[in-house]
Amino acid sequence: MPFAHITGWGISVPEPILTNDDIAKMVDTNDEWIRSHTGIRERRIAREDQFPSTLAVEASIKALQVANLAPTELDLIILTSSSPEYIFPATACIIQDQIGATKAGAFDLLAACSGFIFATNMAAQAIRSGSIKNALVIGSETLSRFTNWKDRNTCILFGDGAGAFVLQASDKPGGLLSAVMRSDGSGADSLTLLGGGARHPATEATIHEGKHFIQMDGKAVFRFATRVMGQAIKESLELANLKLDDVQWIIPHQANYRIIETAAKYLKTPLDKFVINIEKYGNTSTASIPLATVEAVQNGKVKPGDKIAFVGFGAGLTWGAMIVEWTGPIPAKKPVHPEQYRLFARLRSFVRRAIRFIEGFFSRKEL
Ligand SMILES: CC(C)(COP(=O)(O)OP(=O)(O)OC[C@H]1O[C@@H](n2cnc3c(N)ncnc32)[C@H](O)[C@@H]1OP(=O)(O)O)[C@@H](O)C(=O)NCCC(=O)NCCS
Q: Which of 192, 222, 318 to mutate to test the pocket of ligand 1 (most atoms within 8 A of CB)?
A: 222
Are the C-beta atoms of 230 and 267 separated by less than 8 Å?
yes
pLDDT tens track for 186-213 = 999 999 999 999 999 999 999 999 999 9
Q: Does the beta carbon of 318 lie inside 6 Å of ligand 1?
A: no
Closest CA to 77 of 113, 107, 100: 107
Distance 34 CA to ligand 1 centre (A): 9
Mean pLDDT in the chain?
Answer: 96
Residues 226 and 28: their CA atoms lie apart, in Å, by 27
Which pLDDT value is given to residue 365? 67
Q: Is 52 helix (H, G, I), strand (E, B) or coil?
A: helix
Q: What is the pTM for the complete model shown?
A: 0.96
For the chain, the domain total comes to 1
Q: Which stretches within 139-285 are classed as H helix?
A: 204-208, 218-239, 257-267, 278-281
152 falls within a domain: yes
Please report, for residues 69, 94, 221, 252, 259, the alpha-carbon distance to residue 225 in angstroms, rounded to integers and kept in the order given: 36, 32, 6, 11, 7
Which pLDDT value is given to residue 179? 98
Ligand 1 atom having least distance to the Cα of 155:
23
Which pLDDT value is given to residue 333? 78
Apex 24 CA angle, 206 and 145, nearest 5: 35
The CATH number that applies at residue 159 is 3.40.47.10
Q: Does the beta carbon of 33 lie inside 6 Å of ligand 1?
A: yes
211 falls within a domain: yes
Which pLDDT value is given to residue 331? 82
202 falls within a domain: yes
pLDDT tens track for 93-133 = 999 999 999 999 999 999 999 999 999 999 999 999 999 99
Q: Which of 22, 30, 37 to mutate to test the pocket of ligand 1 (most atoms within 8 A of CB)?
A: 37
Are the C-beta atoms of 214 and 158 separated by less than 8 Å?
yes
Q: What percentage of the chain has pLDDT greater than the value 70?
A: 99
pLDDT tens track for 44-93 = 999 999 999 999 999 999 999 999 999 999 999 999 999 999 999 999 99
Which pLDDT value is given to residue 329? 85
| Residue of the CA atom closest to atom 26 of ligand 1 | 29
Ligand 1 atom having least distance to the Cα of 38:
3
Range of the domain at 97: 3-325
Residues 3 and 5: their CA atoms lie apart, in Å, by 6
Which pLDDT value is given to residue 101? 98
362 falls within a domain: no
Residues 312 and 113: their CA atoms lie apart, in Å, by 6
233 falls within a domain: yes
Confidence grade of residue 143 (pLDDT, cut at 50, 70, 90): very high
Q: Does the beta carbon of 218 lie inside 6 Å of ligand 1?
A: yes
356 falls within a domain: no
279-318 burial, b at 16+ Cβ within 10 Å, e below that, comes to: ebbbbbbbbbbbbbbbbbbeeeebeeebbbbbbbbbbbbb
Distance 277 CA to ligand 1 centre (A): 20
Residues 359 and 361: their CA atoms lie apart, in Å, by 5
Type and span of the H or E element at 341: helix 341-366
341 falls within a domain: no
345 falls within a domain: no
Instruction: State the catalytic residues.
Output: 113, 253, 283
Ligand 1 atom having least distance to the Cα of 314:
48
Closest CA to 161 of 67, 336, 329, 282: 282
Confidence grade of residue 303 (pLDDT, cut at 50, 70, 90): very high
Closest CA to 122 of 112, 104, 108: 108
Confidence grade of residue 246 (pLDDT, cut at 50, 70, 90): very high
Residues 343 and 363: their CA atoms lie apart, in Å, by 30
The alpha carbons of the chain give a radius of gyration, in whole angstroms, of: 21
Distance 219 CA to ligand 1 centre (A): 7
Q: Does the beta carbon of 255 lie inside 6 Å of ligand 1?
A: yes
| Residue of the CA atom closest to atom 16 of ligand 1 | 33
